[in-house]
Amino acid sequence: MDARPLGWTGTMIKAAVWICGAVLVWWAAYAVFDPPAYIFPGPADVFSKLATQWRFLLTHAGITLLEMVLGLATGAALGVLTALSIVLFRPARHIVLPLLVASQALPVFAIAPLLVIWLGFGLASKIAMATLIIYFPVASAFYDGLRRTEPHLLDLARLYGASPASTLFLLRFPAALPGLASGLRVAAAIAPIGAVVGEWVGASAGLGFVMLQANARVQTDLVFACLLMLAAAALVLRLLVEWATRRLVYWVDELPA
Q: What mean pLDDT do residues 89-107 have?
A: 78
Q: Are 191 and 70 in contact (CB under 8 A)?
A: no
Q: Return the CATH number at 227.
A: 1.10.3720.10
Same domain, 25 and 45: no
The answer to whether position 232 is within a domain reads yes
CA distances from 135 to 56, 60, 130, 169, 198 (A): 31, 25, 8, 21, 16
pLDDT band at 92, cuts 50/70/90?
confident
Same domain, 18 and 92: no
Same domain, 16 and 104: no
Residues 6+ apart with CB under 8 A from 211: 196, 200, 222, 223, 226, 227
Q: How far apart (Å, rounded) are the C-alpha atoms in residues 153 and 170?
A: 11
Same domain, 80 and 3: no
pLDDT of residue 1: 42
Residue-range definition of the domain harbouring residue 8 = 1-33
Q: What mean pLDDT do residues 131-137 have?
A: 90
Same domain, 93 and 207: yes
11-53: pLDDT as tens digits: 677 777 888 888 899 999 888 988 988 889 999 999 999 999 9
pLDDT band at 120, cuts 50/70/90?
confident
Same domain, 151 and 219: yes
Q: How far apart (Å, rounded) are the C-alpha atoms in residues 253 and 141?
A: 19
pLDDT of residue 255: 56
Q: How far apart (Å, rounded) are the C-alpha atoms in residues 86 and 91?
A: 8
Total structural domains within the chain: 2
Q: What mean pLDDT do residues 198-222 have?
A: 91
Same domain, 52 and 19: no
Q: Are 138 and 180 in contact (CB under 8 A)?
A: yes
Residues 6+ apart with CB under 8 A from 158: 167
pLDDT of residue 6: 52
- Evaluate if residue 165 carries a pLDDT over 90: no
Q: What mean pLDDT do residues 197-208 have?
A: 88
DSSP 8-state secondary structure symbol assigned to residue 122:
S
pLDDT band at 239, cuts 50/70/90?
confident
The answer to whether position 253 is within a domain reads no
Same domain, 19 and 77: no
Same domain, 94 and 209: yes
Q: What mean pLDDT do residues 55-77 have?
A: 94
The answer to whether position 257 is within a domain reads no
The answer to whether position 183 is within a domain reads yes
Q: What angle do CA 107, 110, 116 make, to 5 degrees?
A: 130
- Evaluate if residue 3 carries a pLDDT over 50: no
Q: How far apart (Å, rounded) are the C-alpha atoms in residues 70 and 45?
A: 33
pLDDT of residue 8: 59
Same domain, 107 and 198: yes
